[in-house]
Amino acid sequence: MTECKYYNKRKDEPVKTDESPDDFFVRIPWTGNAMGLQDLNFLSSTSPIVLIGVTGVASAGKTTFLATLYCLLRHGYPIGDYQFAGSKTLIGWESIAWFLSWSQHNDIQFPPHTSSNAGRVPGLLHLSLKDSKGEKRELVFTDAPGEWFAAWITNRQGEKSTGAEWIHSHADAFLLFADCEELSGSGLGKARQQIKQVGDRIKHNLDKRPLGLIWSKSDIPTERSIKEQISAHLQNSPIANYKDFEVSARNDEQNKFQLQILESIKWILHALNVQVNAVPETERYAPSDLFLSKR
Amino acid sequence: MRHQIYSFQNDKMSNTENTILLIGGPDAGKTHFGGQLYGRLSARTEHYKILSSPDDISIFEEVLDKLNQGKSAGHTPVSEHRTVALEIEDKQGKKSIFSFPDYGGEQIKTIVNARRLNKIWKDQIDKSTSWMVFIRPDKLNPIEDLVNRALPATEILNKRKEKGGFHFSDSAFYVELLQMFLYAKGLGDSEGTVVPRLTIVLSCWDLLSSDEKKQLPKDILKGKLPELYSYIVSQWEPHSYSIIGLSSLSKTLSPTDSDQEFVNQGPESFGYIIDQEGAEQKDLTLSISSFIE
């Protein structure tokens, strides 16, 4: 528990206990905070999960993306045919969404930098979704510090790259963040280089796993040619499932940048759903045979 | 702290199919509802009637005394946890147990914050086949975030210091509470829930605005707690949950000054529920009908 990077942040929480210490209690096995590896094992032992690797260098807007996603869901927005059906990390989601919520004092801010002292496995945020047919999907998002990916670019097997390597080997789908603020300013050269390099690392052994490119902070205009360069680089070798999305925490009148966040998750779910094999037809199947029709 | 459970003998319990557990935070209106419901059940004039009077009805008597004086009843002490099991039957003679707990609503907050349930709660959850969750819509804090209110300029945002004072949004609080209760009952969340059946009771309906009162209870819940609404619709099977409105007293009473109209007409003349279709029903005992039929 103490290894969890979010745990200490919650020590101001008033916990009233009127009961004497020897009383019997049912303890709830999930903390509500972002999960670690043990919790993931617990979750994946009961139902198959979709692990979505949220990747990109520091300050690219990864945590803000996740916080905005949660804010949209808690306002009742669906993801395609799916809607919110619970979460075992509600405190984790609410904590990052809290920064993007207005309080009595009108203070609102972007979530603080995700700290990089968290070790080998990223903070994991869980989400249950259910579609209109009653089919459930368990999604888990990685909330990792950008420094992991910077280290991963330099040395894939380096000591500081274990977290990024873990995400790369376990994720079912990836979102790669390209920061439009950097790409439109003096940081263009370095930012473009890093996006391409993280993209190259992800593409290694990517197979059919979807890779979505997220143009974050898209309310800041970026030259089309720069975006095309990056997009072309990523697709210089074929990617089975690739799409890009222009997103931002700020909506403007023409562009629903926030809703593109939902679209990116919808696209991942769709790409993964079509990979499921169709139920094979048996050779002896005959519609006139009532017994076989029952299959 | 008193730990007492007054309940019927087991042989009586085994004849019944329904045990209803009432769940609600502080100030959600459980106490007034209990008094009014007990009054109606024991009058034996409504759809549901009480079968035999329990040994200890002090928790209802205190409330009914106050209401008969035209005053509101006091707040249940935080640590109190008594339960009175009322054995009731409908017009067809079908029996149920309505387990009316009398506890400080703060206990509900403590369960979510401390992430554990004591033995009394565990027993109540195990026994129950239906849950009534009381939520007071006029007391909910609306969510105001970047989805429904635009962000200020980046220069202003960047100057901000880390903000403190995190707390759960109301929607997330109730979702977590229901997730915990389902876990305590030993139910997974991969299958749709049928038992316990769930009724969300939007209490103090009379305090909603006149525009809001024209809406269906489910639309009020969807508008005020969209995340909770999504969760319930996803987790419970369609015919296993209902969302109703409730006004136990039809009006707000003062704890000190008598309301003469209330005294003259008597508590039984006040209170109504708004059923799922939006119709006003004077028979408060119908609030438990969705569990039984």
Length reported for chain B: 293
B176 interfaces chain A, CB cutoff of 8 Å:
yes
The ipTM of this complex is 0.87
Question: For chain B, what is the largest distance between any 2 Cα atoms, rounded to a whole number of angstroms?
Answer: 71
Position B105: which residue type?
Answer: G
- When scoring B79, B166, B228 by the number of chain A Cβ atoms within 10 A, the one with the most, hence best to mutate, is B166
> Considering only CB atoms, which chain A residues are within 8 Å of B143?
71, 74-75, 101
**Residue of chain A nearest B80, judged by CA positions:** A18
CB contact under 8 A, B151 and A250: yes
B283 interfaces chain A, CB cutoff of 8 Å:
no
- Nearest-10 Cα torsion for A157, A163, A165, A167: 180
pLDDT in tens, A51-74: 999 999 999 999 999 999 999 999
> Considering only CB atoms, which chain A residues are within 8 Å of B233?
83
Q: In this predicted structure, what is the pLDDT of residue A119?
A: 57
Among A205-219, B9-23, B278-292, where is mean pLDDT lowest?
A: B9-23
CA distance A95 to A89: 10
Nearest CB among B116, B171, B234 relative to A26 is that of B116
CA distance A112 to A95: 11
Read off the pLDDT of each residue in A81-103 and give the average, rounded to a whole number: 91
Residue B179 reports pLDDT greater than 90: yes
B42 interfaces chain A, CB cutoff of 8 Å:
no
Nearest CB among A71, A76, A91 relative to B222 is that of A76
Q: Mean pLDDT for chain A?
A: 85
DSSP string, B54-118: -S--HHHHHHHHHHHTT----PPPTT-EEEEEEEEE-TT--EEEEEEEEE-THHHHHHHHHTEEE
> Considering only CB atoms, which chain A residues are within 8 Å of B231?
84-86
DSSP H helices, chain A, are 37-46, 62-74, 90-99, 146-154, 162-170, 180-183, 188-203, 224-234, 257-274, 290-293
Among residues 198-237 of chain B, which lie with CB inside 8 Å of chain A?
222, 226-227, 229-231, 233-235
Name the residue ranges covered by the structural domains of chain A: 37-273
3-class secondary-structure state, position A259: helix
The second-level CATH assignment, the architecture, of A37-273 is 3-Layer(aba) Sandwich (3.40)
Backbone angles phi, psi at B6, to 5 degrees: -95, 120
Q: What percent of chain B has pLDDT over 90?
A: 47
Q: In this predicted structure, what is the pLDDT of residue B276?
A: 94
Most confident of the following: A151-155, A278-282, B103-107: A151-155
B140 interfaces chain A, CB cutoff of 8 Å:
no
B289 interfaces chain A, CB cutoff of 8 Å:
no
Which helix (H) or strand (E) segment is B192 a member of? none
Helices A146-154/A188-203 angle, 10° precision: 80
CB contact under 8 A, A90 and B152: no
| Predicted confidence band of residue A245 (pLDDT cuts 50, 70, 90) | very high
pLDDT in tens, B196-213: 999 999 999 999 999 999
CA distance A249 to A268: 20
Q: In this predicted structure, what is the pLDDT of residue B173?
A: 96
> Considering only CB atoms, which chain A residues are within 8 Å of B172?
74, 90, 93-94
> Considering only CB atoms, which chain B residues are within 8 Å of A99?
163
> Considering only CB atoms, which chain B residues are within 8 Å of A112?
162
Distances (CA, A) of A216 to A63, A241, B104: 11, 20, 47
| Predicted confidence band of residue B143 (pLDDT cuts 50, 70, 90) | confident
Q: B217: exposed, middle or buried (C-beta count within 10 Å: 0-12, 13-18, 19+)? A: buried
Number of helices (H), then strands (E), belonging to chain A: the values are 10, 8
Q: What is the pTM of this model?
A: 0.87
CB contact under 8 A, A100 and B146: yes
Read off the pLDDT of each residue in B102-114 and give the average, rounded to a whole number: 87
Position A247: which residue type?
Answer: V
Judge contact between B76 and B103, C-beta under 8 A: yes
DSSP code at position A212: E
Q: B195 versus B156: which is more confidently predicted?
A: B195
Residue B11 reports pLDDT greater than 50: no
CB contact under 8 A, B183 and A13: no
